[in-house]
Structure 1
């Protein structure tokens, strides 16, 4: 047997044992979390000596089980309803094997070839689904934070290049940059402020617009704030709408915001990291109406398309705006290659080396199809409505919002106690539930008041699961009352 054949056989044996390991993990995992604490787990991790090696893959898998997999949060189980983590579909896992084994890098054609064209086709498909127009384009990214950063980079440089006739790449930020303003909902993702900080505009550049009673951006308040900033000599360069806020799943009024962006000549970005999955559903697609007015859109396939992390994209309505991020290196993507018709995806992104994450979505669409994913979206929205109705009818709970997608906030309050006591009670419930590992829910604060949060992204979660979780919450609340 030659060396290459021996390596191939070793690869096959190792992968088979690893697949058996993962299969056993799924078969034997019965609750979302083990309840392990950092203090309990850290000594075992710290005891590992990298100067010695495991004697076999079997021993290594046992080690990984003891310090990782048996404590890994099980997003695939129906009683995990905490954060925006979805269960992943099997075709995408098959694709992961190919992605890792072939190890293509998506920056240039000569490192990815067919993978480049497949990614481009998936980007075109997504743009078509969102009706972004014939000139639309995009690129896969690591996640919503990167996509939002790239969108605001383009918004900044698009304004500078168009209005100030100034080369920001060569000269840095112009003096006027300190007057740039980006408008977003007060419930938008933290990455908007983070992006403005990274881009040299500072967090002060972000103007947070109040929301209405459905936690959507108030367009009247937005217009007033824009006029106020203009009167102070500041410059609106972007409006950022959110299609699916993290805490409420609320969708800002995209049509009105798109019209305002056009009226004021600002970049219009839609952060649809969460809500992008609505495009899959015939029943709920209408909730994204107005997204077609966007200059740029953030899409997270690893949220609402049931893909493994990472699988995301930034889309633009005008492919030429992606050139604002283009740099040429003679050793990598020389100008001559572009002239000869070789597509290099590095020309569209701030990343260089990048995995072929698009293959996961390719496998999913080709083996399952859009309609099946759309049915999953319909199911989680239906279950979220059921959950809200159950909570709303129970006198022991206070429901804060009815879900527009699949997120809802509520708190346990059987005694109508004052706010600080309620905060302590609900924080205790969340932590105690996590420590038990029987179910995982999240929590957040609204006006300094603590609420529990359900985020449903698992079509396998049923009303019965929700009922069980609510009963667990009540039991913990009763325990707290007995002991305090």
Structure 2
């Protein structure tokens, strides 16, 4: 047992084992970062064949276990920092975020009660207070860090549901769901994140409760159709539980008209939740902050910091406009958030979270803000949005490339299109672009997204890497055209 030094503790032996393990892992990462390929190009079948588990009864020891992790995991990992890795909302991370992970992992604080995470609890609360000021909410600490957008959206919809029933004198928390549930509706745009449907199913109201609102040519929620859907719901005797607006759709980066939606909802006392998992980064922007006009009016907000805030996964937050709504999910357990603690002013964050045990992910954002400062943070956020505009202009000038939609955040939707492909028909054109994306990934040279925009299959560049330049993207687009030339129509 002593050979393995299994527990991190204050002994000299444990501390030395920790230093060796961290040094070995750090050196392996430093070497991996220098590899020229974006991906080693192994298929699913090849990885299944290659990866084996070696649970030796006597154990392999730390050094050998790390060596195996480097060989079977690290070397075959996707290099998200690579300039040709642009398929998804999957960012490279700040160096200081990596340093934060070392502190988070070593201390292993659990954010459910103050006596498990004393300083961490206070730091998270202060960050929530700061985030609220960036939004324009009243001073307060109603909010919590989460694992990401899906969980934050679940919290927003759950509290919207429970507030909806509470206004009718009914407690979902105490008595469960009642009434004709098929008459309850949530409205969101047809380009909203799939977690709206997923979460409504989890909340007991099903996919059927979600009504999709049409969007305009920029994938933004259409206000005229929203008004028509509201009127239609009223005519059908249906009740609107919430409207979910999006600030940064996954593909187009579209931001719904937040102020107009919030004002329309306020007239009818409808909860508005904004999924700003991507677009929320513009809270720090110096150039594009006005894109989020009206955000301060909504009832709850999703933020993700493992997108265009460049933090390691996972790191998100949920903000709640009015703290009183947290009463809808409060549960007291003597061993975590006792009445005695509350009377003494002890902040136990389990009352604000769907999770019990929870990582101290807030440290990454805190360290990122302190290391970069708001001005430099704004610059790297704005870089992606500005670069997308430059790339779109370049794409529109290339004869074999077609810009599918003008960019709004840091994504560019385009497709490879020649006259011969157009003559072959829409299905052939769609399949051809799909093949381009597949071949690029299989080669390990690039990871370009493949998606649909209003029925058009297209390629997607998600430009979250602040070190990527227009010249890097020109190289990638040349690779797209070269690959297209190698594929038979």
170-179 or 357-366, which deviates more: 170-179
For the Cα contact (< 8 Å) 1:155–1:238, is it kept in 2? yes
255-264 or 8-17, which deviates more: 8-17
1:6-45 residue pairs with structure 2 within 5 A? Answer: 6-26=13-33, 28-45=34-51
Q: Are residues 56 and 174 of structure 1, via their aligned partners in 2, closer, same or farther at CA, if it must alter by over 3 Å?
A: same
1:360-399 residue pairs with structure 2 within 5 A? Answer: 360-399=364-403
How far off is 1:56 after superposition? 4.1
1:80-229 residue pairs with structure 2 within 5 A? Answer: 80-135=85-140, 137-162=142-167, 164-229=168-233
- CA–CA separation in structure 1 for the residues paired with 2:312 and 2:249: 21
Secondary structure in 2 matching 1:187: coil
Secondary structure in 2 matching 1:478: helix
What is aligned with 2:435?
428
1:149-187 CA-to-partner distances (Å, cap 9, x unmatched) read 01000000001112x101211211011433211111100
Secondary structure in 2 matching 1:304: coil
Structure 2 residue 447 is matched with structure 1 residue 440: yes
- CA–CA separation in structure 2 for the residues paired with 1:317 and 1:53: 54
Q: Are residues 264 and 53 of structure 1, via their aligned partners in 2, closer, same or farther at CA, if it must alter by over 3 Å?
A: farther
1:276-317 CA-to-partner distances (Å, cap 9, x unmatched) read 111111111111111001100000011111100011000011
Secondary structure in 2 matching 1:16: helix
241-250 or 68-77, which deviates more: 68-77
What is aligned with 2:81?
76
- CA–CA separation in structure 2 for the residues paired with 1:410 and 1:53: 55
Number of equivalent positions: 479
Match of 1:48 among 41, 53, 60: 53
- CA–CA separation in structure 1 for the residues paired with 2:408 and 2:455: 23
50-59 or 361-370, which deviates more: 50-59
- CA–CA separation in structure 2 for the residues paired with 1:53 and 1:142: 36
What is aligned with 2:234?
230
> What is the TM-score with the length of structure 1 in the denominator?
0.96
RMSD in angstroms over aligned alpha carbons? Answer: 1.6
1:296-349 CA-to-partner distances (Å, cap 9, x unmatched) read 000001111110001100001111212222111122222221122110100011
For the Cα contact (< 8 Å) 2:221–2:257, is it kept in 1? yes
Secondary structure in 2 matching 1:303: coil
- CA–CA separation in structure 2 for the residues paired with 1:386 and 1:227: 41
Structure 2 residue 343 is matched with structure 1 residue 358: no
1:99-141 CA-to-partner distances (Å, cap 9, x unmatched) read 1111000001111111101000011111111111224620000
Secondary structure in 2 matching 1:315: strand
- CA–CA separation in structure 2 for the residues paired with 1:384 and 1:231: 43
Secondary structure in 1 matching 2:457: strand
Match of 1:61 among 46, 61, 66: 66
Secondary structure in 2 matching 1:369: helix
How far off is 1:52 after superposition? 4.4
For the Cα contact (< 8 Å) 1:322–1:349, is it kept in 2? no
Q: Are residues 72 and 408 of structure 1, via their aligned partners in 2, closer, same or farther at CA, if it must alter by over 3 Å?
A: same
- CA–CA separation in structure 1 for the residues paired with 2:113 and 2:176: 27
What is aligned with 2:3?
none
Secondary structure in 2 matching 1:302: coil
For the Cα contact (< 8 Å) 1:21–1:61, is it kept in 2? no
What is aligned with 1:267?
271
How far off is 1:146 after superposition? 0.3
- CA–CA separation in structure 2 for the residues paired with 1:323 and 1:465: 51
For the Cα contact (< 8 Å) 2:125–2:141, is it kept in 1? no
